[in-house]
Amino acid sequence: MTDRPILTTTAGSPVPDNQNTLTAGPRGGVMLQDYQLLEKLAHQNRERIPERVVHAKGWGAFGTLTITGDISRYTKAKCLQPGASTPMLARFSTVAGELGAADHERDVRGFALKFYTEEGNWDLVGNNTPVFFVRDPYKFPDFIHTQKRHPKTNMRSATAMWDFWSLSPESLHQVTILMSDRGLPQTPMNMNGYGSHTYSLWNDAGERYWVKFHFKTQQGHTHFTNAEGETIIGKTREGYQEALFGGIERGEFPRWKVQVQVMTEAQANATSFNPFDLTKVWPHGEFPPIDIGVMELNRNAENYFAEIEQAAFSPSNIVPGIGHSPDKMLQARVFSYADAHRYRLGTHYEHIPVNQPKCPVHHYHRDGQMNSYGGIATGNPDAYYEPNSVNGPVEQPSAKEPPLKIDGEMGRYDHRDGNDDYSQPRALFNLFDPEQKARLFSNIGAAMGGVPGHIVERQLAHFKMIHEDYEAGVRAALENQHGYKVDTISATPTAAE
Ligand code: NDP
Ligand code: HEM
């Protein structure tokens, strides 16, 4: 006799033998009625689910958001009131690599947060950069195609990337950050996070404020060079998982200072830039960051697949007191993520434990595959429609956002018209010291190897618009690394390599 649990079928019946297939005689063949064999093989075939279409490789942990500052005059959100403490989940990721990609690759890092507030889940799905490559959602799938594999070669294509970027000058700001030191953080703990988009806060008086969220690492903002990253990948492809998981196991709990920048609706009408343009930051000088609290990660997942791979973040998840903004990219994301989850995880992805709100949930959605709500999520079997006179759940008017005045004629407005794509990257370039600039040039040179000359020249012309030194530095790096020269005779520039 043993006190170990009895192995059962998924239907709960004891399994008599988990070692030997049921056969006709010791030499076989196998009997079709060995259902457990069929069950084991069938389950194994279904162990993988589609990886995320972007941000497939990730690392996550649980923790707490604690509010120490006072922004109650801007927002009624309970999780942002002084003293509030909210359990949360963070998932960090690279954008382009697949599920098995190496962690220490140069790429933007995802910084996705889910706050389990008493008023529902609030997801802030940002990056480790305050801006993005494109400002119109029409361009997101095209951009991502250039980051993923070429359909014929099945390899990533530097030509596609730089072709797209050189034809999309709004990408210059993010490309400069990606190619700077910040493009390769040492670990997830050593990077900042940014909500990136402009969101809104609103208070009980119905006043709205525009807001940017910032998460400043307290572990040191530290980065690796390309060469250091390559050395690490030569030893381990899981460096971020080792650092984050291992650190938390050892009781080293990483922390981020949480800040907001706030802009009034009147100020938003007066800025020299569009405050809803995702390729722009709000200058700190004009909109100083305000400290509002601390985010700490202090618990690893018990099961990576269940809690990190199945985590479903969505910018559509907001709570009363927090809202979206007119940013076109954000509005597209409000649709895209929940749609991705229904495809990748299933209709009832919100009922997977890691995605479940930690407050009562009542809605009138019905049925569907994998429904584990007990059939009806109103808690009342007669309340399966609304309005009703059977005491079913009712709306809460106090959760209604204040009205936002919008105007303008419907049309497709050229997002490049009159847009200054150079000043903010220039402000950034001017922040870099000579060594940082040298690494920027070298990183771009390395990333441009093999790109046809006409694309290289188009990109260099943009760098020149930022700063003459930027163009000259990248051109010199291309010459040194690849023997690049402009073919002036044929007037068709070529890249040697
Ligand atoms: P400030 O001089 O007031 O702000 C400079 C900010 O730039 C810093 O606080 C830091 O942001 C960030 N920064 C410093 N060094 C680097 C670096 N090597 N790589 C990337 N970012 C760096 O000027 P502005 O607010 O006018 O910003 C100037 C430029 O700085 C912007 O054009 C933008 O490219 C960049 N930046 C600005 C941010 C903002 O919210 N205003 C945020 C991040 C970058 P942090 O404290 O967030 O690390
Ligand atoms: C993941 C779409 C822009 C940050 C994803 C996913 C989709 C998507 C479909 C996969 C979701 C999943 O399967 O779980 C889009 C679209 C965008 C956009 C349509 C623009 C129109 C952005 C921007 C940011 C961002 C601007 C950051 C500021 C992330 C992060 C993840 C992600 C962090 C991974 C979330 C996780 O850890 O599960 N995006 N995205 N995306 N995106 Fe975006």
Distance of alpha carbon 407 from the chain centroid: 31
Residue 372: its pLDDT value, please? 83
For position 370, what pLDDT does the model report? Answer: 87
Supply the residue whose CA is at minimum distance from atom 7 of ligand 1.
428
Is any atom of ligand 2 closer than 6 Å to the C-beta of 127?
Answer: yes
Beta-carbon neighbour count of residue 82 at 10 Å?
A: 12
324 belongs to a structural domain? yes
Residues 116 and 259 in one domain: yes
Q: Check residue 147 and give its pLDDT.
A: 98
Provide the pLDDT for residue 169.
98
Q: Residue 165 falls within a domain, yes or no?
A: yes
Q: In this structure, are 439 and 346 located in the same domain?
A: no
Q: Confirm or reject: Cβ of 293 under 6 Å from ligand 2.
A: no
Residues in CB range of 230: below 8 A, 6 or more apart: none
Of the candidates 222, 50, 185, the one whose C-alpha atom is nearest the C-alpha of residue 111 is: 185
Ligand 1 atom closest to residue 221's alpha carbon, by position in its atom list: 48
Domain coverage including residue 462: 432-482
User: What digits encode the pLDDT tens for the residues 309-351?
Assistant: 999 999 999 999 999 999 999 999 999 999 999 999 999 999 9
State the complex-level ipTM: 0.97
- Ligand 1 geometric centre to CA of 465 (Å): 20
Q: Which residues are annotated as a binding site for heme?
A: 337
Q: Report how far residue 250's alpha carbon sits from residue 376's, in angstroms, rounded to the nearest whole number.
A: 43
pLDDT band with cut points at 50, 70 and 90 for residue 496:
very low
Residue 495 lies in a domain: no
The number of domains in the chain is 2
The widest CA-to-CA distance across the chain, in whole angstroms, is: 88
Do 338 and 450 belong to one domain?
A: no
Say how many Å lie between the CA of residue 303 and the centre of ligand 1: 37
Task: State if residue 52 touches ligand 2 by the CB under 6 angstroms criterion.
Answer: yes
Q: Is 222 in the pocket of ligand 1 (CB under 6 A)?
A: no
Helix pair angle (172-179, 453-466), 10° resolution: 100
**49 lies in some domain:** no
Q: Residue 375 — pLDDT band, cuts 50, 70, 90?
A: low
Q: Please say whether the beta carbons of 210 and 275 come within 8 A.
A: yes
User: What is the Å distance from ligand 1's center to 318 Cα?
Assistant: 27
* 263 CA distance to ligand 1 middle (Å): 18
- Sign of the alpha-carbon torsion through 382, 383, 388, 394: positive
Q: 302 and 438 in one domain?
A: no
Site to substitute for ligand 1 among 281, 426, 432, most atoms within 8 A of C-beta: 281
For residue 407, what pLDDT is reported?
Answer: 87
In a domain, 384, yes or no: no
Same domain, 121 and 265: yes
Select from 292, 324, 351 the last residue of a domain. Answer: 351
CA 258 / ligand 1 centre spacing (Å): 16
Among the listed residues 175, 185, 180, the one whose alpha carbon sits nearest the alpha carbon of residue 215: 185
Backbone angles phi, psi at 241, to 5 degrees: -65, -45
Identify whether 53 is part of a domain. no
Ligand 2 lined by 109 (C-beta under 6 Å): no
Output the residue whose Cα is nearest ligand 2's atom 8. Answer: 337
| pLDDT at residue 320, rounded to an integer | 98
Same domain for 296 and 169: yes
Assess whether pLDDT exceeds 90 at residue 495: no
Count the neighbouring beta carbons within 10 Å of the beta carbon of residue 262.
19
**Pocket probe mutation, ligand 1, options 194, 284, 433, max atoms within 8 Å of Cβ:** 284
Q: How far apart are CA 250 and CA 254, in angstroms?
A: 11
- Give pTM, 2 decimals: 0.96
* Listed residues 297, 319, 351: the one ending a domain: 351
Residues marked as catalytic:
55, 127
Residue 92 has pLDDT above 60, yes or no: yes
State whether the beta carbon of 329 lies less than 6 angstroms from ligand 2.
yes
Q: Is 283 in the pocket of ligand 1 (CB under 6 A)?
A: yes
Measured at the CA of 407, the angle between CA 403 and CA 408, to 5 degrees, comes to: 160
What is the domain-level CATH number for residue 340? 2.40.180.10
Q: What mean pLDDT do residues 83-105 have?
A: 98
Q: Does residue 374 register a pLDDT over 90?
A: no
The mean pLDDT value of the chain amounts to 95
In whole angstroms, give the CA distance from residue 191 to residue 263: 25
Probe target for ligand 1 pocket from 428, 433, 435, with the most ligand atoms within 8 Å of CB: 428
Residue-level pLDDT at 185: 98
Domain identity same for 346 and 443? no
Q: Which of 53, 94, 125, 194 to mutate to test the pocket of ligand 2 (most atoms within 8 A of CB)?
A: 125
- The residue contributing the CA closest to ligand 2 atom 7 is 337
* 1 — pLDDT class (breaks 50, 70, 90): low
Q: 211 and 318 in contact (C-beta within 8 Å)?
A: no
CA of 134 to the centre of ligand 2 (A): 13
Residues 347 and 436 in one domain: no
The amino acid sitting at 443 is N
Q: How far is the CA of 390 from the centre of ligand 2 (A)?
A: 40
Q: Are residues 455 and 315 in the same domain?
A: no
Assigned token pair, 347: 């209709």
Which of 324, 351, 378 is the last residue before a domain boundary? 351
CA 54–ligand 2 middle distance (angstroms) = 7
Same domain, yes or no, for 445 and 324? no
Q: Which atom of ligand 1 is nearest to the CA of 432?
A: 18
Which residue bears the tokens 């950034």?
428
Q: How far is CA 87 from CA 92, 114, 161, 189, 317, in A?
A: 17, 9, 39, 18, 16
Nearest CA to ligand 2 atom 40: 333
Backbone angles phi, psi at 242, to 5 degrees: -60, -45
The type of residue at 270 is A
Nearest CA to ligand 2 atom 24: 126
pLDDT for the residue numbered 229: 98
Task: Give tens-digit pLDDT for 167-182.
Answer: 999 999 999 999 999 9
Could you tell me if 108 and 208 lie in one domain? yes
For the cut 90, the answer to whether the pLDDT of residue 418 exceeds it is no
If you average pLDDT over residues 476-488, what whole number do you get?
89
Q: Report yes or no on 249 lying in a domain.
A: yes
Ligand nearest to the CA of 112: 2
Instruction: Give dist(CA 427, CA 93) in Å, integer.
Output: 28
Distances (CA, A) of 69 to 169, 319, 452: 38, 19, 52
* pLDDT at residue 379, as a whole number: 78
Instruction: Give the model confidence (pLDDT) of 230-274 as tens digits.
Output: 999 999 999 999 999 999 999 999 999 999 999 999 999 999 999
Q: Is the pLDDT of residue 163 over 90?
A: yes
Same domain, 347 and 440: no
321 lines ligand 1 (CB under 6 A): no
**Residue 455 belongs to a domain:** yes
Q: Which atom of ligand 2 is nearest to the CA of 137?
A: 21
Q: Please report, in range form, the residues annotated as the binding site.
A: 337
For 217-232, how does the pLDDT look when each residue is reduced to its tens digit (9 = 90+)? 999 999 999 999 999 9
Give the confidence band of 497 by pLDDT, cuts at 50, 70, 90. Answer: very low
Cβ 281 under 6 angstroms from ligand 1 = yes
**Residue at token pair 């070298």:** 442
Is residue 10 scored above 80 in pLDDT?
yes
